[in-house]
Structure 1
Amino acid sequence: MTELSESIDLQPITSQPPNHDLDVSSQPVIPGYSELPTVPSQVTDYLPLSLCTMLYCCLPIGIFAVLYSIRVREANLVGDQTRAQRASRIACVLNVLAGIFGVIITLATVLPKIFCGFEHSNC
């Protein structure tokens, strides 16, 4: 038993970790890099919404919304903020129009069946 206790350095277990007095309030300075390069803010492209409105609401308006959403992505990649913002507004308006048109068409087809009944097709 004495050989085992001599080969292992037994130390008492403390409840607190050792304090090494590290200063984490300052960051290291890299010579030659005073500022990090800024990434231009990305404009919202509404592509997922455009795909949904194209598939579920109104196909013709949705196609144009998808095309303008793709223009937003292209303008974001190039870094042209004004073109991206303009295309983003147009894509948003087209999505809203397609959504409203889809709701109107759905109500126009469903409401007569509800009020007249599904059996009577003469309404």
Structure 2
Amino acid sequence: MAELLKSIELQPITSQPPNYDLDVSSQHVSPGYPELPTIVPRQVTDYLPLSLFTMVYCCFPIGLFAFLYSMRVREANLLGDQTRAQRASRIVCVLNTLAITFGLITLLAVLLLVFLNPAGSDD
């Protein structure tokens, strides 16, 4: 038993880990403080789904311009140009509003013509 105790080298209990001779010249040493995260600017809304909706269902020409400006907003967001993204986003919002308004007025006019047309009645 004495031989067994001699073969096991006991380390004293300390708050430090045991010191082993290692070659530290090839190891990467990280700094003692964490790296700061890169600050990503807030993404500006591009209204792309609404632009596609207005292009297909409301007014194609205005919706097409809204779609193109939506793509400009996305590009500006990717480049981090928040000023250009905000400007294009406002234009997209106005174009989508115009297209939806035009679509609703057109729908209302067609419905009025269909239901109030005296030529279509069988009197």
TM over 0.5, yes or no? yes
- TM-score scaled by length of structure 2: 0.68
Counterpart Cα distance in 2 of 1:118 and 1:55: 31
Instruction: Report what 2:32 is aligned to.
Output: 31
Structure 2 segments unaligned to the other structure (5+ residues): 1-30
- Aligned-residue offset at 1:102: 0.2
What one-letter code is carried by the residue in structure 2 that aligns with 1:89? R
Matches within 5 A, 1:60-99: 60-99=61-100
Counterpart Cα distance in 1 of 2:87 and 2:59: 22
Structure 1 segments unaligned to the other structure (5+ residues): 1-29
Q: From the CA coordinates, give the structure whose radius of gyration is larger.
A: 2
- TM-score scaled by length of structure 1: 0.68
- Aligned-residue offset at 1:36: 1.9
The percent of aligned pairs where both chains have the same amino acid is: 62
Matches within 5 A, 1:1-123: 31-33=32-34, 35-116=36-117, 119-120=120-121
- Aligned-residue offset at 1:52: 0.2
* CA-atom RMSD in angstroms: 1.7
Counterpart Cα distance in 1 of 2:44 and 2:54: 20
